[in-house]
């Protein structure tokens, strides 16, 4: 959510930002916001005036009673009663309009960075750099689910009978590999100075609205029937909401956390949810990194965080590239974002495995997360998040890039301690 002063005093900036994000349909909402804002401010002013009159009148009542002017005092009490009734009306209308104003404000996207490339969707994202050589071996690499099944490691048929499409069973060495990369990612981030956390996996709707747009909520989140609870789509949701309504000390910042959680996503509108692999699924596990910092430090942390992703994937012998997200591909709360994509030697192309985002104060403003500076002033913190590792999707890149012609899969040195010292895993059926 942006500062309403931007709409009051720099509406052109907000309008241009909507156009950059191809959201011109939201332009009329700015008129609605201006109109509601005027009414709210007038109601606040009216309320303050009535309170001042009430206080003055109350003082007069006390003096009249002391002077034994009972009738005059009682008349003044009636005036106070009417003022209180009017105040209740004003406060009720102000509360209703303030909620409406907040709802409208939450529809307006965050102002994007000046250097974000302009484009309609992810097809116009821009490759910035590659890390590692994208090698295609001289032997065939099977489809990732076939590799998993050669280890008796994947059963989607049984999962379909139990849970439906978009679910899976992982077993044996593949399940162990899944857990190993999560444990490795956890320790990798702890070594970078991040605090390890395990958050709640369900959060209230108010927390959901604080961390994502209404459209994302509708398309992603599973709601618990009969409860004000949603299953998280990523641990970022509950990790940022942890600080809701808090005023942090300047000395507390930056707060750097790495969190594990299962994640649940409806994937509304997603294509290929019924495919036999595990690329797009309803349930997965994830290691996340989250940072809360002062505004002047957020770009520096953004660069640190995506670089951590590159470093981690390269230690697993996976070539990656950095892709700058264009304006039309940025979710509404994002200031800037990039994807880290892993090389698929089977498909001879890259695919997304991490997404790093700087949201400036958009989430903090929604959740009222502020920092008290040493000079006594308070300001909203900046929040950032990035995927560390999200298996089983990242296992696709791992298996393909470490696959040998004989069907075995190499275990990189960094991961061997988490796999019982194994240097490779051997399929039990071909």
Q: What pLDDT digit, counting tens, does each position of 362-401 carry?
A: 999 999 999 999 999 999 999 999 999 999 889 999 999 9
> Does residue 114 lie in a domain region?
no
Cα separation, 222 vs 43, in Å, equals: 38
Question: What residue ranges of the chain have pLDDT lower than 70?
Answer: 268-276, 430
Query: Strands across the sheet with 378-380, in order?
Result: 247-249, 370-372, 378-380
Cα atoms found within 13 Å of the Cα of residue 25, Cβ hemisphere only:
3
Clarify whether residues 318 and 408 are in a common domain.
yes
Q: Residue 20: which CATH number?
A: 1.10.287.40
Q: Please, which residues have CB within 8 angstroms of residue 170's CB and are 6 or more apart in sequence? A: 148, 153, 154, 178, 392
**Structural element, H or E, at residue 259:** strand 255-264
Say if residues 305 and 386 touch (Cβ distance below 8 Å).
yes
The pLDDT, as a whole number, for residue 277 is 81
Clarify whether residues 232 and 153 are in a common domain.
yes
Clarify whether residues 85 and 129 are in a common domain.
no
> Does residue 338 lie in a domain region?
yes
**pLDDT per residue over 51-60, tens digit each?**
999 988 888 8
Say if residues 288 and 258 touch (Cβ distance below 8 Å).
yes
Clarify whether residues 81 and 137 are in a common domain.
no
Choosing from 72, 105, 138, the residue where a domain stops is 105
Cα separation, 334 vs 205, in Å, equals: 20
The alpha carbon of residue 275 and the mean position of all alpha carbons in its chain are separated, in whole angstroms, by 27
> Does residue 249 lie in a domain region?
yes
Clarify whether residues 27 and 126 are in a common domain.
no
Q: Please, which residues have CB within 8 angstroms of residue 220's CB and are 6 or more apart in sequence? A: 212, 233, 265, 266, 267, 268
> Does residue 384 lie in a domain region?
yes
The pLDDT, as a whole number, for residue 269 is 52
Say if residues 347 and 341 touch (Cβ distance below 8 Å).
no
Pull the structure tokens for residue 302. 């953004």
Clarify whether residues 386 and 261 are in a common domain.
yes
pTM: 0.89
Say if residues 358 and 335 touch (Cβ distance below 8 Å).
yes
Pull the structure tokens for residue 111. 């102002």
Pull the structure tokens for residue 369. 């997360």
The SS3 call for residue 408 is coil
Clarify whether residues 88 and 169 are in a common domain.
no
Cα atoms found within 13 Å of the Cα of residue 58, Cβ hemisphere only:
11
Clarify whether residues 94 and 242 are in a common domain.
no
Clarify whether residues 148 and 281 are in a common domain.
yes
In whole angstroms, how far apart are CA 129 and each of 11, 306, 355, 386? 36, 12, 15, 18
The pLDDT, as a whole number, for residue 289 is 97
Q: How many domains does the chain have?
A: 2
Clarify whether residues 84 and 141 are in a common domain.
no
**pLDDT per residue over 325-352, tens digit each?**
999 999 999 999 999 999 999 999 999 9
Domain that holds residue 256: 122-425
Choosing from 48, 71, 105, the residue where a domain stops is 105
Clarify whether residues 67 and 215 are in a common domain.
no
Pull the structure tokens for residue 178. 């899944």
> Does residue 115 lie in a domain region?
no
């Amino acid at each position: 959510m942006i500062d309403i002063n931007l709409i009051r005093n720099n509406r052109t900036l907000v309008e241009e930002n909507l156009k950059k994000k191809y959201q011109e349909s939201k332009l009329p909402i700015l008129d609605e916001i201006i109109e509601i804002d005027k009414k709210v401010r007038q109601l606040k002013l009216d309320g303050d005036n009535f309170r001042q009159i009430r206080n003055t009148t109350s003082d007069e009542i006390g003096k009249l009673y002391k002077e034994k002017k009972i009738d005059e005092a009682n008349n003044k009490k009636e005036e106070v009663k009417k003022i209180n009734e009017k105040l209740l009306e004003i406060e009720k209308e102000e509360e209703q309009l303030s909620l409406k104003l907040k709802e409208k404000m939450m529809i307006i996207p965050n102002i994007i960075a000046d250097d974000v490339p302009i484009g309609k969707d992810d097809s116009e994202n821009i490759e910035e750099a590659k890390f590692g050589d994208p090698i295609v071996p001289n032997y065939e690499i099977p489809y990732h689910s076939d590799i998993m099944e050669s280890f008796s490691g994947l059963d989607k048929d049984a999962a379909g009978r139990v849970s439906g499409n978009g679910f899976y069973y992982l077993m044996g060495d593949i399940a162990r590999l899944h857990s190993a990369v999560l444990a490795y990612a956890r320790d990798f981030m702890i070594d970078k100075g991040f605090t390890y956390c395990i958050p709640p996996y369900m959060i209230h709707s108010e927390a959901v609205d604080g961390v994502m747009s209404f459209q994302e909520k509708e398309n992603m989140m599973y709601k618990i029937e009969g409860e004000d609870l949603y299953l998280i789509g990523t641990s970022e949701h509950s990790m940022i909401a942890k600080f809701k309504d808090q005023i942090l000390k300047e000395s507390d910042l930056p707060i750097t956390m790495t969190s594990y959680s299962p994640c649940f996503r409806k994937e509304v509108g997603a294509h290929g949810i019924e495919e036999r692999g595990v690329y797009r699924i309803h349930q997965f596990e994830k290691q996340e990194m989250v940072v809360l910092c002062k505004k002047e430090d957020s770009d520096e942390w953004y660069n640190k965080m995506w670089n951590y992703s590159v470093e981690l994937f390269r230690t697993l012998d996976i070539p990656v590239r950095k892709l700058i997200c264009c304006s039309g591909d940025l979710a509404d709360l994002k200031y800037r974002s990039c994807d880290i994509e892993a090389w698929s030697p089977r498909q001879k192309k890259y695919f997304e495995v991490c997404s790093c985002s700087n949201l400036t104060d958009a989430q903090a403003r929604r959740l009222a997360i502020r920092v008290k500076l040493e000079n006594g002033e308070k300001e909203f913190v900046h929040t950032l998040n990035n995927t560390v590792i999200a298996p089983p999707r990242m296992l696709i890149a791992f298996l393909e890039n470490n696959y040998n012609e004989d069907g075995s899969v190499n275990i990189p040195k960094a991961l061997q301690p988490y796999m019982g010292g194994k240097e490779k895993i051997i399929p039990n059926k071909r």
